[in-house]
């Protein structure tokens, strides 16, 4: 990625504040409009969903299809060939603590090929396959520097490895640039050009989820990785993509959304902070064209984001927020988690419940099937967040942390 491209991405990240000032958005809870949400437990034919069989065979596929058509676009399955090429391996990375693997994932479809670079650090201290965290990275590539000359709290790979987890990541530029002009230059124009002509066609965030799924394809072939203990994580726009990854692909044991806001974990109908109209105007390449129908018209959505979280059930889901990140609507994210995980409790009979009111910062809630925390501070992904995600994973997998 060029210097000019990085400057362009920085400018785009500032557009919500520049284009839609606080006078045009609501960050005042009493001004949230009254709203009603689609019922997770009633399908489009009016049938009540009470059993696991009904959820798996009727309602969950229906919900995923509704999100495909109205929000994230089709998830193409066509792949003619996929190859994994280890282009670099260092068994003494991180001062001998880890093995670094840089793997090119080559995907071919209709004689066109796209290559995605996967960066993976595997802990050396264990002889058994390691559980893994995959980060969908949309920020500066230096955040995921495989040489570790550049280290940031956004991806604290050393700390992840110390906890016994493999640390994996890829940059979204390999599958779809985070740019309204060039977003289609990778998998969309080369592998799935037909999607660009569809109103419900694949777009940027769906392409990122597609990339995460290709990483999972590799994990399933790697003897050093416990693919059945894989977590996908994203921050902000990456968090939107991680939720869609978990909803689209049942191979992920844990799906983690960090401050994903509108189009991620937050309830769209609350119209708090970033709204459907704002996000579609500033980032028109993230979502399917059909999503524009709901600009200032959220009540007409056949789904809302609590249903996205519900579609991940019975697998685990974690939603995190920041106290000063009102643009992402922490309360709306928490409400979505509360309501979406009703499927875990009421269909799968899992134990534990979330308090009615959102917990205060510094008081995480880790249930057997879901987690939540709100961190003091602004919009970011920090080591504090990562430590809580790993604490949750330890409990979920029954890992005894001796560090």
Residues belonging to the active site: 236, 379
Distance separating alpha carbons of residues 28 and 256, to the nearest angstrom: 27
CA 242-202-16 angle, 5° bins = 65
- Label residue 53 exposed, middle or buried (CB < 10 Å: 0-12, 13-18, 19+): exposed
Residue with tokens 């019975």: 314
Distance separating alpha carbons of residues 269 and 259, to the nearest angstrom: 17
Distance separating alpha carbons of residues 260 and 313, to the nearest angstrom: 19
Pairing of strands 98-109, 112-123: antiparallel
Q: Are 79 and 109 in contact (CB under 8 A)?
A: yes
Measured from the Cβ of residue 288, the count of other Cβ atoms closer than 10 Å reads 24
Establish whether the linkage from the previous residue to 314 is cis, with ω within 30° of 0. yes
Report the candidate in 126, 134, 120 with the shortest Cα–Cα distance to residue 164.
126
Contacts of 292 (CB under 8 A, 6+ apart): 280, 284
Say what angle helices 237-248 and 204-219 make with each other, to 10 degrees. 60
Q: b/e for 99-121, b at 16 or more Cβ within 10 A?
A: bbbebebebbbeeeebebbbbbb
Helix (H, G, I), strand (E, B) or coil at 40: coil
């Amino acid at each position: 990625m060029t210097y000019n491209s990085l400057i362009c991405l920085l400018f785009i990240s500032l557009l919500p504040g520049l284009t839609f000032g606080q006078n045009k958005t609501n960050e005042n809870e009493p001004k949230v409009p009254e709203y009603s949400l689609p019922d997770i437990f009633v399908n489009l034919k009016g049938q009540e969903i009470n059993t696991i069989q009904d959820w798996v065979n009727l309602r969950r596929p229906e919900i995923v299809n509704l999100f495909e058509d109205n929000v994230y676009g089709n998830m193409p399955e066509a792949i003619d060939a996929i190859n994994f090429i280890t282009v670099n391996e260092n068994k003494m990375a991180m001062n001998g603590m880890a093995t670094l693997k840089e793997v090119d994932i080559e995907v071919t479809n209709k004689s066109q090929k796209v290559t995605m670079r996967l960066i993976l650090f595997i802990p050396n201290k264990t002889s058994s396959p390691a559980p893994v965290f995959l980060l969908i990275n949309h920020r500066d590539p230096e955040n995921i520097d495989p040489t570790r000359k550049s280290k940031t709290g956004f991806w604290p790979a050393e700390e992840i490895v110390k906890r016994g987890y493999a640390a994996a990541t890829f940059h979204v530029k390999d599958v779809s640039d985070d740019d309204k002009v060039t977003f289609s230059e990778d998998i969309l124009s080369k592998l799935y050009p037909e999607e660009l002509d569809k109103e419900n066609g694949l777009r940027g965030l769906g392409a990122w989820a597609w990339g995460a799924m290709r990483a999972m394809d590799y994990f399933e072939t790697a003897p050093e990785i416990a693919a059945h203990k894989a977590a996908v994580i994203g921050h902000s726009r990456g968090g939107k993509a991680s939720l869609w990854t978990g909803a689209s692909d049942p191979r992920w044991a844990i799906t983690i959304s960090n401050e994903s806001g509108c189009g991620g974990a937050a309830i769209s109908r609350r119209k708090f902070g970033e709204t459907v109209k704002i996000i579609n105007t500033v980032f028109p390449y993230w979502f399917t064209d059909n999503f524009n129908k709901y600009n200032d018209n959220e009540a007409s959505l056949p789904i809302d984001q609590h249903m996205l979280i519900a579609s991940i059930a019975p697998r685990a889901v974690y939603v995190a927020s920041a106290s000063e990140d009102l643009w992402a609507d922490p309360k709306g994210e928490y409400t979505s988690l509360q309501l979406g995980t009703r499927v875990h409790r009421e269909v799968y009979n899992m134990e534990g419940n979330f308090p009615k009111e959102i917990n205060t910062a510094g008081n995480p809630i880790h249930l057997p099937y879901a987690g939540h925390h709100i961190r003091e501070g602004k919009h970011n992904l920090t080591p504090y967040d990562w430590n809580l995600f790993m604490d949750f994973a330890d409990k979920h997998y029954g890992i005894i942390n001796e560090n």
